Chain A
Amino acid sequence: MKPSVSYLAAIWTILRKDIQVEWRGRQGVPVMLVFALTIVFLFNFALQLSPDLQAGLAAGLLWVSLAFASTLGLNRGISLERENNALDGLLLAPMDRSAIFFGKALGNFCFTGLVGLVLLPVFSLFYPQNMLRLPLVLVMLLGLGAYTSLGTLLSALSIQARTRDVLLPVLLYPLALPILIAAVEASRGVLTGQSLGDVSSWIYLLLAGILLFNAGGLLFFETILEE
């Protein structure tokens, strides 16, 4: 079958649709933000963090809250398509199905990235670490890029199971571990004053993750969504 819309146009249409839904409903980003902040407060008491939080702990806290909060957004992103059988409509559209993956993954990336960008100054308020630094922002976006690509792929798997919402974290966290390790280590390095070049091996690991999981989406998304 020859696609009647260009590949990029299809991706853009899906991305735009998701942004529009989010803008009108505001049910993703605010929920993730509140959840991420709750986790920060929870950890603050559970781990008895001192006010002069060390860089290592700050990086870990940032990523734990981002990883947990993103799961909400990823679940939301795919269950949105389940409601009213919107997914069937997407599948019927005359386009390559991997375009759906890239559209959804980009949408998830934008929303979690936004959450991260709001979290950084909030962290800087609560703890005496200036987190709003360009290298850290870069590391965060790379890490989230890899994480949300994998998450989008797995959310399409988990949505088909009876245990759908509960399943995603169980599938996602162990598989995302190398990404989270690399992201935490790179963030820690950057926060302790190292340059991006000093943490380059972690950066490469994140880039490898982005490549691998997007290739996975390109290859497998069609198979996953097949009825």
Chain B
Amino acid sequence: MNVAKKPSLLVILDILTVLFMSAVLVLTWFFTPVEAVMGPVQKVFYFHISAAWGGMLSFILGAIAGAGYLRSRRLGWDSLSLASIEVGLVFALIAILSGMIWARPIWNTWWVWDPRLTTTAIMALIYLAYFILRGGLSTPEARARLGAVYAILAVLTVPLTFFSIRLFRTIHPVVIATGGGQGSAFNMTPRMLTALFASLLAFTILLADLVWHRFRLAQLQNPLSEEEN
């Protein structure tokens, strides 16, 4: 297979990504209402949620691809795992940073030691350590094998971490109510919901696009790094 040639499906995905992301920008700027109490800064919320969602999805994909590597022992799976986790980390950092931008005017501080913020930061640290681990390993095979095990372990601990937050008090807003709240489960107007779902979709497409590009880069690097060792 000629890896160097860019697949036409990827080109289509690139175009789709640009279209969807611009559409979401237009939606958030002009379509959604300005939140009554918080004002325009609330609009960062659409990107915040979507980035957090993308990060989670990406980390799960990274673990699944890791399991794929352990089953098949093909480096392609490892490239996918690495690509997902790298893009996931960027998304998680976007979620944290956009959250901080929102928190500054609303909570009057960039950072609070709220459990949900803290655990998201810890999640970012867990995946930063993934790159430190890979950096210390000298063969592509060891990077793939141990990276896969670590990616799976990391995904398994994240729910434990989130459960441990639930036991704390949290001041982080709960957008999607669990259990018997009154009325709709979403605490938003229909327009806000539309923009949110559009943004979730757009970020998912962006994620797929970025992961694919990063995957291709890793695939192109693989034969090179084998020569190096």
Taking Cβ atoms with an 8 Å cutoff, the residues of A that contact B are 153-154, 157-158, 160-164, 167, 170-171, 174-175, 177-179, 181-182, 185, 201-202, 205, 208-209, 212, 216, 220, 223-224, 226
Whether A175 lies near B154 (C-beta < 8 A) is yes
Whether B153 lies near A153 (C-beta < 8 A) is yes
In the bound complex, CA of A163 to CA of B150 (Å): 16
B176 within 8 A of A: no
Interface of A is mostly: helix
Whether A161 lies near B136 (C-beta < 8 A) is yes
Distance of B88 from chain A, by nearest CB (Å): 15
Enumerate chain A residues within 8 angstroms of B156, measured Cβ to Cβ: 212, 216
Whether A216 lies near B153 (C-beta < 8 A) is yes
Distance of B229 from chain A, by nearest CB (Å): 13
How many residues of chain B get a CB closer than 8 Å to chain A's CBs?
Answer: 28
Distance of B70 from chain A, by nearest CB (Å): 6
The B55-76 residues at the A interface (CB cut-off 8 A) are: 70
Distance of B155 from chain A, by nearest CB (Å): 11
Given contact pairs A167-B132, A223-B145, A224-B149, a sample of 7 additional A-B residue pairs in the complex whose CB atoms are under 8 Å apart: A164-B136, A170-B132, A175-B154, A177-B119, A185-B167, A201-B167, A224-B145
Enumerate chain A residues within 8 angstroms of B149, measured Cβ to Cβ: 157, 220, 223-224
Taking Cβ atoms with an 8 Å cutoff, the residues of B that contact A are 70, 119, 122-123, 125-126, 129, 132-133, 135-138, 142, 145-146, 149-150, 152-154, 156-157, 160-161, 163-164, 167
Distance of B126 from chain A, by nearest CB (Å): 4
Whether B142 lies near A160 (C-beta < 8 A) is yes
Whether B167 lies near A170 (C-beta < 8 A) is no
